[in-house]
Amino acid sequence: MSISADLRLVARAAKPGGTIVDVRGVRIGGPEIVIIAGPCAVESEAQLLSAARAVKAGGAAILRGGAFKPRTSPYTFRGLELEGLRLLALAREETGLPVVTEVMDARHLPEVAGCADILQVGSRNMQNFTLLEEVGRSGMPVLLKRGMSATLAEYLQAAEYIMAAGNERVILCERGIRTFEPSTRNTLDLNAVPMLQRESHLPVLVDPSHGTGHAWMVPAMACAAVAAGADGLLVEVHCDPERALSDGANSLTPEAFRRMVEQVAGVAAAVGRPLFKHEP
């Protein structure tokens, strides 16, 4: 045992065969690699729909987009909130892609749960224990991001909170941690992938966008994540990254995303895993 914590429900021993979280027919944690992509934030109808069409064409299985954005400065764009949720539902209707979006506060849970197919709990909320219990009680699939300064023991105990509230549909996501290295936004901790998979039965995704902070690094680290055994990727894509209202620096263009998916498919094939694809 490498992680010492009281993991009654999350531990691999509780479910040795592993967990598959089924989101409208997209199976996360099975043999297929699942790619989740879309803009950091929902900015407008035109911006979201163009990104949603582009990621679908490029091979994404699920659409991402933030409506409630946790931003470091209160003076930056903090999301369209309820209007953002409405636009995500519109994008799902048009593309057929399931939607993941962040729930920042338990007070917004009814509205976010009414729109999303997966509830995202962000890095800054990984130890918001009341929020963890609320998303646990919702019974909806939860994508729980690793806190930027959380150990893996703390991370798995956060997942345990969700499961202890009665929800088995938990998806983990490594998104980079704070280190002494300033050239990247975070240090993408790919050690986490095999360690989490050894210690837990939950699916493990990797977010190379926030993990690096640089769009040009994203394809390399996406391939590395899949080589390390990740069950899927969470990637930010924007049709005009230079004008993005948040995280343009780590957002891929649709063309770069398409090329990344091709590369990732090659690595996936080498490790014996197909990419998840929607029926055309």
Instruction: Considering only residues 77 through 136, tell me which ones interact with ligand PEP, judged by CB under 6 A.
Output: 102, 122-124
Q: Which is nearer to ligand PEP, 72 or 130 (CB)?
A: 72
Instruction: Decide whether 102 or 117 has the Cβ nearer to ligand PEP.
Output: 102
Q: Which of 183, 108, 200, 268 is nearest to 122 (CA)?
A: 108
Block residue for tokens 């209202």: 245
Distance of closest approach, residue 22 Cβ to ligand PEP, in angstroms: 22
Residue for token digits 């479910």? 15
Write out the E strands in the chain: 21-23, 26-28, 34-38, 62-64, 99-102, 118-121, 142-145, 170-174, 204-206, 232-236
**Cβ closest to ligand PEP, residue 148 vs residue 265:** 148
Residue 138 touches ligand PEP, criterion: CB under 6 A: no
What's the closest the beta carbon of residue 69 comes to ligand PEP, in angstroms? Answer: 7
Element (H, E) at 27: strand 26-28
Distance CA 59, CA 76 (A): 31
Choose among ligand PEP, Mn ion, none what residue 122 binds, the Cβ cut-off being 5 to 8 Å by kind. Answer: ligand PEP
- Report the C-alpha gap between 172 and 198 in whole angstroms: 13
Name the one range near Mn ion by CB under 5 A: 30-38, 55-63, 76-84, 246-254.
246-254
Q: Which of 247, 252, 265, 273 binds Mn ion (CB under 5 A)?
A: 247
Residues that bind ligand PEP (CB under 6 A): 40, 66, 70, 102, 122-124, 145, 175, 210
